[in-house]
């Protein structure tokens, strides 16, 4: 009996410690009312933009920072950093509404397949200063490619959705391209 009391006491204090530790662990998270963050009714927006990837010339907007493997027909291993104009129309002289900033890497050994990570940083109208974040696989020679919208900032906080990319123009000699992006974004 003399041994049972210390064992029970230690088990009791251990249980109390576990309960207090669990209560303390949950103190870093709490449920919130979205209205406290100014979030109102969620809406769906559609943006049609033209992405201008300029690889050649005097002022490239895509710069190769890691060359591809020398024995690859798909440019496997290539990494390029981008700061590409986003315009309302397919011509570079069209009204610029933002920039696509991020990188893409050739991530396929069998086909020209890119892994893209970029923010569409808007510089026009009520979306000025807001971003949409895109991360996904882009098989360049497919007619239409789909990539997820994984988030955003500003008016696109808590954004989700997808983009469809369709090549409008491609120069196989220089690598320059104009791609139409249709963005479907759920946001508050």
CATH of the domain at 47: 2.40.480.10
Residue 23 lies in a domain: no
pLDDT above 90: residue 18 = no
Give the three-state DSSP class for 77.
coil
Mean pLDDT of 59-78: 95
Separation between Cα atoms, residue 176 and residue 102, nearest integer Å:
17
Mean pLDDT of 16-29: 61
* Whole-number pLDDT of residue 65: 98
Q: What is the tens place of the pLDDT at every residue in 143-152?
A: 999 999 999 9
Mean pLDDT of 24-30: 70
Q: How far is CA 176 from the centre of its chain?
A: 22
Mean of all residue pLDDT scores within the chain: 90
Domain span holding position 161: 41-187
Label residue 22 by pLDDT band (50, 70, 90).
low
Domains of the chain: total: 1
Residue 2 lies in a domain: no
More confidently predicted of 1 and 165? 165
Q: Percentage of the chain surpassing pLDDT 70?
A: 86
Q: What is the tens place of the pLDDT at every residue in 97-128?
A: 999 999 999 999 999 999 999 999 999 999 99
Residue 97 lies in a domain: yes
pLDDT above 90: residue 9 = no
Residue 77 lies in a domain: yes
Phi first, then psi: give them for residue 74, nearest 5 degrees: -110, 10
What are the Cα distances from residue 174, in Å, to 55, 60, 138?
Answer: 7, 11, 19
Residue-level length of the chain: 188
Residue 19 lies in a domain: no
Q: What is the tens place of the pLDDT at every residue in 122-137?
A: 999 999 999 999 999 9
CB of 130 within 8 A of CB of 154?
yes
* Whole-number pLDDT of residue 37: 83
Residue 36 lies in a domain: no
DSSP letter for 33, please: -
């Amino acid at each position: 009996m003399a041994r049972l009391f210390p064992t029970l006491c230690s088990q009791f204090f251990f249980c109390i410690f576990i309960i207090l530790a669990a209560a303390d662990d949950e103190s870093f998270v709490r449920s919130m009312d979205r209205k406290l963050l100014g979030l109102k009714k969620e809406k769906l927006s559609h943006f049609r933009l033209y992405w201008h990837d300029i690889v050649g010339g005097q002022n490239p907007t895509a710069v190769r920072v890691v060359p591809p493997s020398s024995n690859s027909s798909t440019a496997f291993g290539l990494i390029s950093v981008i700061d590409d104009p986003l315009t309302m129309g397919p011509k570079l002289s069209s009204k610029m509404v933002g920039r696509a900033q991020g990188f893409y890497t050739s991530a396929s050994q069998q086909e020209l397949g890119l892994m893209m990570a970029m923010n569409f940083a808007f510089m026009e109208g009520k979306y000025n200063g807001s971003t949409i974040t895109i991360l996904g696989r882009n098989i360049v020679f497919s007619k239409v490619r789909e990539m997820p919208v994984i988030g955003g900032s500003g008016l696109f906080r808590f954004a989700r959705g997808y983009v469809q990319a369709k090549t409008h123009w491609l120069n196989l000699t220089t690598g320059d391209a104009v791609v139409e992006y249709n963005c479907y974004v759920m946001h508050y």
